[in-house]
Chains A and B, each alone.
Chain A
């Protein structure tokens, strides 16, 4: 059994050590908010936080996590920064199809937790790993600034 700390709760799963966290979350724990997009860490749809840092869960072996804190989209609203990002996303109506937005919000929340006042270059650097096929980038940039201003 692998012990995992997810969104402040302890979980035990029976999973091979090399199984990516993405599929543990989705297929073993029913936490389907974290999305599969590419499987090769190119699109960012599967972004979660490990000890507050954004990580692509599609390539993260579950056996390598140990007792580090995992935060997913289902839990990010419990953090102050995460809640601000979610609110800004709705205030500026960022979302279209929404499939990439779990990952976008996780990357944005991690950025703001590390840098409370990011400029365009900071935002571009932090968010360039997250693809949005609907093209919501302009609003993502604005919403991150909005969330920062709420601080």
Chain B
């Protein structure tokens, strides 16, 4: 922990004097992971440190070590709330630290590695952190009781103070730290009854936001280390291409350019500042050996995927007899297709590297601490334990920072120069060298009898991100992420089958993107549900309700959103409401989007309403914020998101041609949080998944046009289309 608040002039003097990069502290929280202690963080000298997450010093300062990373989703408030509630700590005195890389101490219990993703930070750490807090509390209470020679059960704890009411004695956690450190940890400390929570369930203010209003927060891209140079890079515009030749004569005349680094797969220009680096890069004449993909187009990739989707898939789920069920009643078929997407985090990819003999130090913002450490070690050619990773608050993650490619290239560039270097990607590199959300194709067949679905045969075709990123998640031909929210779709259907065809797109790297597998499956499922409702001549909400008998939480969310959204009330011509429901990430969410389609086919959002049962809402305001933002993230993709390929290159390059929703396109969004005593569900990705099908169904209601691909095809919606 560092108490110094370093203001901007100090940072300037740092630059001038070349002194060690300072620290910034916001609201009891270090924003820069400098000077990680060398000793294991779970056992620092002179502190009560009963586990890897909690340290209490003699002054009573309570430090929580955060195993998951903060990228806007609010875990740097919610996780401390869980710890502090069971610990009965004084929440206003809590300090936070980023965990160092250590899978053993800080691995996500669901993944087994230190990874933040899949909307599971709260789900994964709910129990472990409650136990960690309760353990520490029990030891502190025991320490006080021993000193006072009273029964620990006769003591209470609150706000970092143990009290023995009968004798009026009190002791602070700081005073008790030494004594508690000498006690054995209880194996099974009692956890609070939820009715006794003092913090959990309250809309507390976030711990990470105050310094995000005044420029003091330090993201990885803001790293300053002594004598640092700044570099920017160009990778082959054609997937898989290599550098053939570089003419750097013009670049070297750019003032401030220090070096041109030419590697097998990239070229970087190193300068005194980003302007020199960028201008130098623009002045290079690079000849690429484009390799085998120069003819690749989006059409090729779609044709390959469509062909693959006609194969039999690996069976991921089977209930009843789906083929027999399909012969009963009226049969309908649908195919849905989703495009490649870029993540476009607002903070472009970056990594700062300092190499010293036998060691490597990196500053970055990552969702995978230990993976970037291993990647840096390999690239630098040093042992893993010689790599120090300084993680930061992330300027957006969305899955992009589950990858380590930006660390690998930065270290390889750093090896070519004699100074620390901050490598910053331009936005163009970021969009054109992303690890993209895969293209997916879903084929569904269903039969309908008396307003109910008798059989549902569902097949997902697409890339297996798991097979590359987390091989245990790809078994017997099934990618568990790719079928997530398909195998557990919420409706009561007696005959059901889900299959998966692994189909890797040529040349294009694929990765996780906010909403992951459910993004695809909720879209296809909920779109087809609306089409079936229309075939059954039923209202889409009522049609779903009749088949949600086994999902009371989702049914309740659907009923609430119908009421709050004004479902069924009259709308102007070419305006419609669309609904979607989802059980994804262990949260039960129903969403209604109201949209209007003008005569040119342009879609205008009018209103969005969601109802969510996410179990115990650790911080209800964060739940609302995540849904508001997630819905916009998903609606952005539905309305605009598509990465296309021609001649082996990505055609989009920046926000001018890879469009984001802007404030003037966003309507009011209402989120209703349903009170629940179930264990918490995930929330960070749920809005991204909920928005697109509800929008598509609103357009279906407004126009009658059956869209089965994203992004929305305006031409198909225009009144007088050619």
Q: Kindly state whether residue A114 has any CB partner on chain B within 8 Å.
A: no
B405 interface residue per 8 A CB criterion: no
B residues 625-661 near A (Cβ < 8 Å) are 625-626, 628-633, 636, 654-656, 660-661
Is B539 part of the contact surface with A, judged by Cβ < 8 Å? Answer: no
Q: Mark B656-674, 1 if CB is under 8 A from A, else 0.
A: 1000111110101100000
A81 interfacial contact with B, CB 8 Å? no
Using A16-B255, A38-B655, A100-B346 as known contacts, say yes or no to A32 and B72 having CB atoms under 8 A apart: no
Assembly CA distance A68 to B542 (angstroms): 63
Report A28 CB to chain B, min CB distance, Å: 6
Interface residues of A in 1-44 (CB under 8 A from B): 16, 19-20, 23, 26-40, 42-43
Q: Are A137 and B346 in touch, CB under 8 angstroms?
A: no
Q: How far is the CA of A100 from the CA of B216 in the complex (A)?
A: 13
Q: Which chain A residue shows the least CB distance to B619? A: A93
User: Do B346 and A33 touch across chains, with their CB atoms under 8 A apart?
Assistant: no
CB 8 Å contact bits of A103-143 with B (1 = contact, 0 = none): 00100000000000000000111011111111111111100
Chief secondary structure at chain B's binding surface: loop
Residues of B within 8 A of A105 (CB): 213
- Please determine whether A39 and B427 come into contact, CB atoms closer than 8 angstroms: yes
Near B by CB (< 8 A), chain A positions 28-62 give 28-40, 42-43, 45
Measured in the bound complex, the distance between the Cα atoms of B662 and A128 in whole Å is 6
Partner of A32, one of B224, B256, B633: B224
Beta-carbon contact of A140 and B663 below 8 Å: yes
Q: Are A27 and B274 in contact (CB under 8 A)?
A: yes
B215/A133 in contact, CB under 8 A:
no
On chain B, the residues within 8 Å of A27 by CB distance are 230, 272-275
Q: Does B395 contact A (CB under 8 A)?
A: yes
**Number of residues from A at the complex interface, CB < 8 A:** 58
Residues of chain B within 8 A (CB-CB) of A96 are 72-74, 625-626, 629
Closest to A11 in B: B12
Chain B residues, Cβ within 8 Å of A90: 205, 209-210, 213
Given contacts A32-B224, A96-B73, A98-B212, contact A19 B654 (CB under 8 A): no
**Which chain B residue has the least Cβ–Cβ distance from A7?**
B8
Residues of A within 8 A of B397 (CB): 97
Contact across chains for B213 and A30 when beta carbons are under 8 A apart? no
The chain A residue sitting closest to B629, CB to CB, is: A135
Assess whether A124 is in contact with B663, with CB atoms less than 8 Å apart: yes
The verdict on A93 contacting B395 (CB below 8 Å), with A34-B215, A98-B208, A137-B632 known, is no
Is B218 an interface position by the 8 A CB rule?
A: yes
Complex contacts, B394 vs chain A, CB 8 Å = 97
CA distance A137 to B636 in the complex (A): 13
What distance in Å separates the Cβ of B691 from its nearest Cβ neighbour in chain A?
10
Q: Which residues of B contact A93 (CB under 8 A)?
A: 205-206, 209, 621, 625
Q: Determine the residue in chain A with the shortest Cβ distance to B77.
A: A93
- Quick one: which of B218, B275, B629, B663 contacts A123, CB cutoff 8 A? B663
In the bound complex, what is the Cα–Cα distance between A138 and B396 (angstroms)? 18
Q: State in angstroms the CA–CA spacing of A100 and B663 once bound together.
A: 13
Question: Assuming A32-B215, A38-B654, A139-B625, is B346 touching A133 (CB within 8 A)?
Answer: yes
Task: Give chain B residues whose Cβ lies under 8 Å from the Cβ of A131.
Answer: 346, 655, 660, 662
Given A105-B213, A133-B660, A134-B72, A99 contacting B346 (CB threshold 8 A) = yes
Q: Is there contact, CB below 8 Å, between A98 and B655? A: no
Instruction: Determine how close the nearest CB of chain A comes to the CB of B653; give it in whole angstroms.
Output: 9
The answer for the CA separation of A37 and B577 in the assembled complex, in Å, is 35
Is B398 an interface residue, CB under 8 A from the partner? yes
Partner of B214, one of A16, A38, A77: A77
Partner of A45, one of B7, B346, B626, B666: B346
Q: Within the complex, which residue of B216, B222, B396, B656 is in contact with A97, where a contact is CB–CB below 8 Å?
A: B396
Cross-chain contact A33 with B214 (CB below 8 angstroms): yes
**B217 located at the interface, meaning its Cβ lies under 8 Å from any Cβ of chain A in the complex:** yes
CA distance A98 to B274 in the complex (A): 22
Contact B654 A40 (CB under 8 A): yes
A73 within 8 A of B: yes
Given A99-B346, A128-B663, A135-B633, also A42-B656 (CB < 8 A): yes
Closest chain A residue, CB of each to CB of B347: A99
Residue numbers in B under 8 Å from A31 (CB-CB) = 8, 11-12, 215
A37 to B, closest residue via Cβ: B346
* Residue B554 is within 8 A (CB to CB) of chain A in the complex: no
Q: Does B14 contact A (CB under 8 A)?
A: yes
User: What is the bound-complex CA distance between A28 and B167, given in angstroms?
Assistant: 62
CA distance A102 to B209 in the complex (A): 12
A128 touching B664 by the CB < 8 A rule? yes
Contact between chains at A97 and B213 (CB < 8 Å)? no
Report B271-283 CB contacts with A as 1/0, cut-off 8 Å: 0111100100000
Given that A23-B274, A39-B427 are known contacts, is A98 also in contact with B74, CB under 8 Å in the complex?
A: no
Q: Given that A32-B224, A36-B221, A123-B663 are known contacts, is A133 also in contact with B8, CB under 8 Å in the complex? A: no
Which residues of B are found within 8 Å of A139, using beta-carbon distances? 625, 628
Q: How far is the CA of A93 from the CA of B620 in the complex (A)?
A: 12
Distance to closest chain A CB from B660 (angstroms): 5
A100–B395 CA distance with the chains assembled, in angstroms: 8
* A contact residues around B348 at 8 Å (CB): 36-37
Among the listed B213, B219, B344, B630, which residue makes an inter-chain contact with A135, where contact means beta carbons less than 8 Å apart?
B630
In the complex where A33-B216, A139-B628 touch, is A95 in contact with B206 (Cβ < 8 A)? yes
Q: How far is the CA of A35 from the CA of B393 in the complex (A)?
A: 14
Minimum Cβ distance to chain B for residue A90 (Å):
6
Q: How far is the CA of A128 from the CA of B659 in the complex (A)?
A: 13
CA distance A72 to B8 in the complex (A): 11
B664 lies within 8 A of A89 (CB): no
Are A32 and B11 touching (Cβ within 8 A)? yes
Contact B664 A28, beta carbon cutoff 8 Å: no
Known: A27-B274, A30-B224. 16 other contacts (CB 8 A): A19-B275, A27-B275, A32-B224, A42-B654, A43-B346, A43-B660, A74-B8, A93-B205, A95-B72, A95-B206, A96-B625, A97-B346, A130-B662, A135-B633, A135-B687, A136-B628
What are 14 A-B contacts defined by CB distance under 8 Å? A31-B11, A32-B221, A33-B217, A34-B215, A35-B347, A36-B221, A73-B214, A95-B213, A128-B663, A131-B660, A135-B632, A138-B668, A139-B625, A141-B663
| Nearest 6 interchain pairs by C-beta | A33-B215, A135-B632, A99-B395, A97-B72, A96-B72, A98-B212
Chain B residues with CB under 8 Å of chain A are 7-8, 11-12, 14-15, 71-74, 205-206, 208-210, 212-219, 221-222, 224, 230, 255-256, 272-275, 278, 344-348, 393-398, 424, 426-427, 621, 625-626, 628-633, 636, 654-656, 660-664, 666, 668-669, 687
Residues of A within 8 A of B (CB): 16, 19-20, 23, 26-40, 42-43, 45, 72-74, 76-77, 86, 89-90, 93, 95-102, 105, 123-125, 127-141
